[in-house]
Amino acid sequence: MLNRQRPFVRQEGLGFDLSLPSGFGLGLGGDVDPILAYDLSLYLNGSRGKFTAGDVPANGGQVATWVDLLGSGDNATQTVGANQPLDEGDSLYFNGAGDHMDLSLSNGVSFTYMVDVEILDATAIRYFGRVYTAGGHFRLGWNAGNLYCYDSLGELTGHMGAAIPLNERAVVGCTYDAEDNLFTWYKNGVAYNTITPSSTLGIYDSAMLSSSSTDPENKQYNVLSASRALTAAEMLEISNLLLP
């Protein structure tokens, strides 16, 4: 189901037919990661794949590269040491004072973006993720204990009615269906609002983990993307797989 042109290893006995790129998708105990049953274009996992060769700090060290487990080369990077997040073993810690990572993506006009995040401290409107398209950008954020979203088109900014308590993980995401021109915000697989942008958004080509300013202190466990709008059922399934 993954659109990668490499040798595949057939995995049996999972209840579904899953083909995986050889050398990818194994969990810490050697089990197949069920997230790879979905047609993703990016998969950043906080438990593994965080470092390139020769860049392996001890737990608690700074992380310059968070490697895409799918091997696309669309890695999250930060070359400035003062802005690099810290390795937390199962996640990356962003300090809310400038820590952030950039992503250049190879995607189409339809897309999905998901962040498995835990907000640790925030006192006002703060953003922990940004998505950039040719026609506008969108921010995933937190305010007063709720999911807070912003779009540069000025069509949907404010609370989504989805509670995100401090120190609790939540899978927050958005999808854009270019064919129907529908943009939808999600929390833990539940859709909270949908808008029809005034114009199609164009190519989705980059994202930012946390942000260079106005970001909360947070931990990010997983970041996923797809070159299509995942269905509501898929968003729910993935959220359930990610959350403990």
* pLDDT tens column, 179-191: 998 889 899 999 9
Phi, psi (degrees; rounded to nearest 5) at 203:
-65, 135
What whole-number percentage of the chain has pLDDT above 70? 75
* Separation between Cα atoms, residue 82 and residue 171, nearest integer Å: 27
DSSP 57: P
Question: In the block, which residue shows the tokens 């949907």?
Answer: 156
CA-CA distance, 18 to 153, in Å (whole number)? 39
Residue 12 reports pLDDT greater than 70: no
Residue 17 clears pLDDT 80, i.e. is over it: no
pLDDT per residue over 98-133, tens digit each?
Answer: 898 988 877 778 889 999 999 888 666 677 777 778
Q: What is the pTM of this model?
A: 0.81
What pLDDT, on a 0 to 100 scale, did the predictor assign at position 5?
A: 31
Tell me phi and psi for residue 47, to 5 degrees: -90, -15
190 strand-pairing partners: 187
Q: Which residues pair with 140 in a beta bridge?
A: 129, 149
**Residue 98: its H or E element:** none
- Domains of the chain listed by start with CATH number: 1-37 (no CATH), 39-242 (2.60.120.200)
Residue 94 and residue 97: Cα distance in Å, rounded?
8
Q: How far apart are CA 186 and CA 163, in angstroms?
A: 12
Q: Which residues partner with 121 through β-bridges?
A: 217
How far apart CA 90 and CA 50 sit, in angstroms, is 10
Q: Which residue has the tokens 């006995």?
A: 13
Say which range, 71-80, 150-159, 219-228, has the weakest mean pLDDT: 150-159
Burial of 241 (0-12, 13-18, 19+ CB in 10 A): middle
E runs forming strands in the chain: 8-11, 18-21, 42-45, 65-66, 76-77, 86-87, 92-94, 100-104, 111-121, 126-133, 136-143, 146-151, 158-163, 169-177, 182-187, 190-195, 204-210, 217-226
